Structure 1
């Protein structure tokens, strides 16, 4: 039985989605804690999420964090060794963290007012991958190059009412091509729009998506073979340089059966980008704006790499690495849910930083500190009104009222 101070705490509000009835039922079905005596799955997950927020360097740091009486009380765990943590992280089934990720994602959708039954219908979905380098001698399963290891995090994120939420993730070896994961990440509903980078160019799959009515926008590679069918007029004051209807691929080998729309646009730095789409109904300016939104997934990767623990891992096994990446995505979703609960409209980093000092405060106090706006009483360094002083003195001289200027005690700033 948890005390009133724990239930009212920011810690409880942050981890409340983990206590979801569906997830707890799934844990029972999977017998997640069947032979566990000390560190239950929910306790382990909370510890690992805290380690993401605090960016602990290793398992010993996580173990030592329980010396904080507040954390120990809120998790209901006095101590755990780094060796026990290592075994639990290694043996934790990926199915558990995947189930939790889906549960937290759906909870975030509910908080945003989205019907979870139609969560994938419509909307913009951004698809991309990021490579995380690893030491090949320590991670021999993570093949990348001859002397270097690595993994790829393939991700789909979704725009939901001005918020970005990771929707689906796949972890593979870094030496595998992005195109292999396209079918697993593409949203096939009619009203959905998938936006991808040039690493996902595949003419056969594009033909298949056109036949099935799956909408996409993708950047085209420079060496693509293009057959122009029709030239379209473009607005002179637009960032659209060229618009064409084309067929892609080499005759009798890779040539597509369905025509696509090709747009040549200028990015914010003045560089030319060629994009293709099977969307013929949208305006060219809209397509250009939608493709530029793809940059949001790059910013997402940058954010989690800087502010969560995804570049250095607590375990060496493939299972431990996948679990840690999923827990990082879960942590991001939990922060988003807390942001919605607090009614805060600023950036997520401020919430993460405030949790560092206010995690065990009451949630009301946390909200008060989060929404508090500092008042700057200083007016800053004031500039002298030189132009105004000159005009005043000029008028005085012209009207022959400048005798006082001969007085050495006169200060033109006092008037």
Structure 2
């Protein structure tokens, strides 16, 4: 029997998690040592299902599992209370979910990295953070501002050929500056080009990256001291207004400086420590940085992040990592099926067909349109006129005087 005939979409969806690998992590951490009913694997399945179906509170998760037999079979538990969900969410160590996320990222990278990385520029890693604001009285551990709390997702995404996926995600309270996590998001690989904004600006760090061969593109601040080493020629027809080799601030290593304007006409000054990248490429690379903003927007709109399941540090961190895991599982399904639609379309297909067999799922998502159109068909009299006119132009119209024959034959 075909494996796709008996496998449901949800079972195939969570298959990349590799339950054997996860179980080893759980056993080593002794998470399920005294657990009888709601073990860690069941918890993971339940909360991935909740992310996929956008169940935004624990009561909805509890009710859905308790009322629906199909959910019970696929998740692996017949009933669970809101308090049990909350307790388990607070007890689970976030390191487990971060390790699972890395496991999925490695699978995506193996599928996409070698075939999509740009030969000249290498891998493009975009770095930024996104803040989730929270109520100060309920999340006092998440230090942010005097009036509210918050956490930050410090994220590095790989962007190539229109596809974005996380390379690293670090969750911290919101107050520490972005630059404190930059080293952890940098990949010490000469084939990787990192792009980040002014929130990570640090002369000492940049000098260290130059010495270690770590390539980067970033925007400099308006008050940055620039010492020109050499002015370079520019294409007058391009939007670039200046290209030079410079020293900035207290940096010892020279960098390329490119000045251009944004869509609103504001001046942008960009630096790059790779001498092989030309001015137009530097400008385009920095513009690609907005892809990470689109990534954050997608995750916040289509997964459960803005409404939190719990108030403890573990509960919040676990939810954010599970959202990233759900993103990666959706992308893996799209890649493995070679589905050409958008990632949101793939997620919606999975949401609608999660109990269906993979055979039916594959058949339906690749089914052609039920009605076909041949387009605007030419009328018969138009064809007759064109052929008759062509005969007239070539001098072969004598037969038109003979009414005994058909002029089209």
Per the TM superposition, whether the score is higher than 0.5 is yes
> 2: distance between equivalents of 1:129 and 1:34?
36
Corresponding residue number in structure 2 for 1:400: none
Does the 8 Å contact 1:193/1:216 carry over to 2? yes
Question: Could you say what secondary structure the match of 1:145 adopts?
Answer: coil
| Unaligned stretches of 5+ residues in structure 1 | 116-120, 250-254, 383-415
Corresponding residue number in structure 1 for 2:227: 227
- Whether 2:350 is the aligned partner of 1:351: answer no
- Whether 2:361 is the aligned partner of 1:362: answer no
- Deviation digits for residues 48-88 of structure 1, max 9, x if unmatched? 11111222121000101112111111122100000000000
Corresponding residue number in structure 1 for 2:297: 302
Corresponding residue number in structure 1 for 2:22: 23
Question: Could you say what secondary structure the match of 1:346 adopts?
Answer: coil
> 2: distance between equivalents of 1:238 and 1:270?
14
> 2: distance between equivalents of 1:139 and 1:6?
47
- Deviation digits for residues 164-205 of structure 1, max 9, x if unmatched? 211111112212111111111111211211110111110110
Does the 8 Å contact 1:351/1:370 carry over to 2? no
Question: Could you say what secondary structure the match of 1:112 adopts?
Answer: helix
Does the 8 Å contact 2:4/2:359 carry over to 1? no
Does the 8 Å contact 1:122/1:189 carry over to 2? no
> 2: distance between equivalents of 1:346 and 1:173?
36
Corresponding residue number in structure 1 for 2:201: 201
Does the 8 Å contact 1:144/1:150 carry over to 2? yes
Corresponding residue number in structure 2 for 1:396: none
Corresponding residue number in structure 2 for 1:327: 322
Does the 8 Å contact 1:6/1:12 carry over to 2? no
1:3-402 correspondence to structure 2 within 5 Å: 7-66=6-65, 67-112=67-112, 114=114, 122-159=122-159, 162-249=162-249, 255-374=250-369
- Aligned-residue CA RMSD (Å): 2.3
TM-score by length of 1: 0.84
Question: Could you say what secondary structure the match of 1:47 adopts?
Answer: helix
| Cα distance, 1:7 vs structure 2 | 4.8
Does the 8 Å contact 1:18/1:42 carry over to 2? no
Q: How many residue pairs get matched?
A: 368
Question: Could you say what secondary structure the match of 2:241 adopts?
Answer: strand
- Identify if the C-alpha distance between structure 1 residues 353 and 361 changes in structure 2 by more than 3 Å, giving closer, same or farther: same
Does the 8 Å contact 1:86/1:314 carry over to 2? yes
| Cα distance, 1:331 vs structure 2 | 0.4
Does the 8 Å contact 1:234/1:243 carry over to 2? yes
| Cα distance, 1:113 vs structure 2 | 6.9
- Identify if the C-alpha distance between structure 1 residues 190 and 378 changes in structure 2 by more than 3 Å, giving closer, same or farther: closer
TM-score by length of 2: 0.85
Does the 8 Å contact 2:5/2:359 carry over to 1? no
Does the 8 Å contact 1:112/1:161 carry over to 2? no
| Cα distance, 1:347 vs structure 2 | 0.7
> 2: distance between equivalents of 1:350 and 1:271?
36
Does the 8 Å contact 1:53/1:352 carry over to 2? yes
| Cα distance, 1:161 vs structure 2 | 5.7
